[in-house]
Structure 1
Amino acid sequence: MNDTVREIASQPDVWQRGVAMAGEARAALGAPGTRTLVLGCGTSWFMAQSLAELREAAGLGETDAVCASEYVPRRRYDRVIAITRSGTSTEVLEALRQLPAGTHRVAVTAVTGEPVDDLVDTRVLLDFADERSVVQTRFPTTLLAMFRAALASELGADLARLVADGRAALDAPLPADPAAIEHLVFLGTGWTVGLAHEAALKVREAAQAWSESYPAMDYRHGPVAVAGERSLVWSFGATPESLDDAVRAAGAQPYRDTLDPLAQLVLAQRFATALAAHRGLDPDTPRLLTRSVVLA
């Protein structure tokens, strides 16, 4: 068992600790009406997308998500939340340095003593969710479990089944034989679009395989054209079931289940590592990747 697989399996237990930090997470989100930007790179950017959608849906105010490398200080924000597991990603640090004076800066990290510490006013530390693996799994999912708990009352969310669903995802059969799949598509809606993007990234990182991701209803606006008999189209959350008919018409295999969307992401992570094993790859040493992108 490699580090990536071990960390995937640890998620339900780690989520419990994240959920217990709901109060700290709520303070980091700011008061209702606070105009907020969430930014990150790679996985952290996809978590930013999910978090921004959750915060707005909860009625806390306008919330944008931006890829840190694309941040330009054109709009005024009261608060910026930077997601960076390592605290060292160059583009995140540069974005924080560009913020106008008076902007409240928050960092969500897995480590202390890194450059991001000197650039923020508030830090949320998830050191218990840090990872040895380059490929992120439990840090981003714990982050979302924590913030979902912080917003549970506004969203009407019942997180009582989250941990149980996470454990079920560890034992559930994979939706297809990895040997029979060469193309994966992940679909989401609302806050699960970010999860779909993250699932597709795990497949690319761990298994060097062809994967795509889209907002669910946009799939029929072109992307379905490349689906075929070796395609698996995987839906996160409450996407319209009518999409499955379009997937089958393309000769592809649709997949959806009733687990909590974060638990569905666990299953997708397992599929990515199983596909890596089928291809003779070690997800602990993903091609051309490092734990943090630090530019000269």
Structure 2
Amino acid sequence: MKAEMRQQPEVLAALADRWPTLTAQVAALLDSAPPLGVAFLARGSSDHAALLGRYAVEVQTGLPTCLVAPSVATAYGRPPEGFRGWLLVALSQSGRTPEIVDLAHRYADAGARVIGVTNDGGSALASAAHLSIALEAGPETAVPATKTVTGQLLAVLAVAAGLAPGGLTQAQAAALPEAVARVLADGESADRAARRLADHDRLAVVGRGACYPAALESALKLQETTGLMAHGFSTADFRHGPIAVCGPDAPALLLAGSGPADADTLDVRAALAARRAPVLLAGTAPDADLPWPALGHLGECLPATVRGQQLALATARHLGIDPDQPAGLNKVTLTN
């Protein structure tokens, strides 16, 4: 896991170098008829990348955007007939998850244009798509996905940038590898934070806007690597009731960057203090326990996600757990 995490700046730099090609390919696919809406299809970590894509597309274009519930078609038998003229972005790190491949075919048959985002450009998902975006991150063998996740995050921002003006620029994309490298160079912050988590068995991970997908992914990484009952929340939803789970024995990890939604996450600290809940702050504030560089755009989700990876790895090591082989988990989950 540590070795694959350290490969992320290189993987992201290669994707940023391809930025003009990727955005032009997306624009060309949709040139004859702009999409009526954009749907994202994914499971697990890929679903968190899809959520960032949804934010980017909605903010940039105003198009109707959704996350597909695969079971609607696979379990309940409802065909995706209403998605004619839509764009479907299907994400799978391996490109081999049966239901994702199956639904990519079904949406294409129903008249949607399909973009496949996968690490393997020769996979079944890549073959099912009208346009394949291969991450080209190299083999990923640790069960907790790291470099393919941040690769997917950058890939969905490229898709959004190809849809309409106003998306992430190539210069902004090219600055992300350095931002991630700076986070990776600071392992001490993660070690200190891991020591503070060691005596707890449950944790709320909270973020909003660009930090919400990172909060969900960070919670998943902690679950996978340590068995900690970590749960990710939108800050707004957290205020509506789940904050009640936090107290002296249940800390909160807050992710707050430099975007317009992050002040709300910083403000929730007062309510947590009233509950005497320990708080770890990750973000761009001067007092952040787990800092990352302020970027001012949705790409901040990437260094935020890497901070979550670091914390999961450090916590697993502190607890004497092998993060590369979590008990009862497989690298590829073949859901149908």
Query: Does the alignment reach a TM-score above 0.5?
Result: yes
Q: Give the distance between the partners of 2:124 and 2:168, measured in 1 at CA.
A: 37
- 2:39 alignment partner AA: L
- What's the counterpart of residue 276 of structure 1? 316
The answer as to 2:83 corresponding to 1:76 is yes
- What's the counterpart of residue 227 of structure 2? 208
How far did residue 96 of structure 1 move? Answer: 1.8
- What's the counterpart of residue 9 of structure 1? 6
- 1:119 alignment partner AA: A
- 1:235 alignment partner AA: L
SS in 1 for 2:82: coil
How far did residue 170 of structure 1 move? Answer: 1.4
Q: Give the distance between the partners of 2:156 and 2:100, measured in 1 at CA.
A: 20
Q: Give the distance between the partners of 1:58 and 1:265, measured in 2 at CA.
A: 22
Which of residues 279, 282, 288 is equivalent to 1:256? Answer: 282
Do the aligned partners of residues 215 and 25 (structure 1) sit closer, same or farther apart at CA in structure 2, a change above 3 Å counting?
A: farther
Consecutive unaligned residues of structure 1, counting only runs of 5 or more, are none
Q: Give the distance between the partners of 1:84 and 1:236, measured in 2 at CA.
A: 27
Q: Give the distance between the partners of 2:317 and 2:152, measured in 1 at CA.
A: 27
How far did residue 279 of structure 1 move? Answer: 2.4
Do the aligned partners of residues 120 and 160 (structure 1) sit closer, same or farther apart at CA in structure 2, a change above 3 Å counting?
A: closer
SS in 2 for 1:190: coil
Which of residues 80, 97, 103 is equivalent to 1:89? Answer: 97
Consecutive unaligned residues of structure 2, counting only runs of 5 or more, are 285-291, 293-299
Do the aligned partners of residues 12 and 186 (structure 1) sit closer, same or farther apart at CA in structure 2, a change above 3 Å counting?
A: same
The answer as to 2:121 corresponding to 1:102 is no
Q: Is 46-55 or 279-288 further displaced after alignment?
A: 279-288
- 1:294 alignment partner AA: L
Do the aligned partners of residues 170 and 97 (structure 1) sit closer, same or farther apart at CA in structure 2, a change above 3 Å counting?
A: same
How far did residue 271 of structure 1 move? Answer: 0.8
Q: Deviations over 1:204-232 (max 9, x none)?
A: 11111110111112212111111122413
SS in 1 for 2:247: coil
Q: Is the 8 A contact 1:37 1:81 kept in 2?
A: yes
- What's the counterpart of residue 255 of structure 2? 235
The answer as to 2:120 corresponding to 1:111 is yes
How far did residue 141 of structure 1 move? Answer: 0.7
Q: CA RMSD in A?
A: 2.5
Q: Deviations over 1:173-202 (max 9, x none)?
A: 126224244322222222432221111111
The answer as to 2:35 corresponding to 1:23 is no
Do the aligned partners of residues 159 and 101 (structure 1) sit closer, same or farther apart at CA in structure 2, a change above 3 Å counting?
A: closer
Q: Deviations over 1:26-50 (max 9, x none)?
A: 2337548412211111111111111
SS in 2 for 1:102: coil
Q: Give the distance between the partners of 1:295 and 1:161, measured in 2 at CA.
A: 36
Which of residues 130, 142, 145 is equivalent to 1:133? Answer: 142
Do the aligned partners of residues 278 and 202 (structure 1) sit closer, same or farther apart at CA in structure 2, a change above 3 Å counting?
A: same
> Superposition pairs for residues 52-71 of structure 1, below 5 Å?
52-59=54-61, 61-71=63-73
How far did residue 161 of structure 1 move? Answer: 4.3
- 1:257 alignment partner AA: G
- What's the counterpart of residue 192 of structure 1? 211
Q: Give the distance between the partners of 2:30 and 2:58, measured in 1 at CA.
A: 12
- What's the counterpart of residue 297 of structure 2? none
Q: Is 26-35 or 274-283 further displaced after alignment?
A: 26-35
- What's the counterpart of residue 42 of structure 1? 44
Q: Is 43-52 or 118-127 further displaced after alignment?
A: 118-127
How far did residue 60 of structure 1 move? Answer: 6.4
How far did residue 273 of structure 1 move? Answer: 1.2
> Superposition pairs for residues 147-226 of structure 1, below 5 Å?
147-148=156-157, 151=161, 154-155=166-167, 158-159=172-173, 161-172=175-186, 173-174=189-190, 176=193, 177=195, 178-226=197-245
SS in 2 for 1:13: helix
Do the aligned partners of residues 21 and 156 (structure 1) sit closer, same or farther apart at CA in structure 2, a change above 3 Å counting?
A: closer
How far did residue 114 of structure 1 move? Answer: 2.8
How far did residue 253 of structure 1 move? Answer: 2.7
Which of residues 132, 139, 142 is equivalent to 1:123? Answer: 132
Q: Is the 8 A contact 2:183 2:307 kept in 1?
A: yes
Q: Is 260-269 or 152-161 further displaced after alignment?
A: 152-161
Do the aligned partners of residues 235 and 70 (structure 1) sit closer, same or farther apart at CA in structure 2, a change above 3 Å counting?
A: farther
- 1:75 alignment partner AA: G
Q: Is 54-63 or 37-46 further displaced after alignment?
A: 54-63
Q: Is the 8 A contact 1:107 1:122 kept in 2?
A: yes
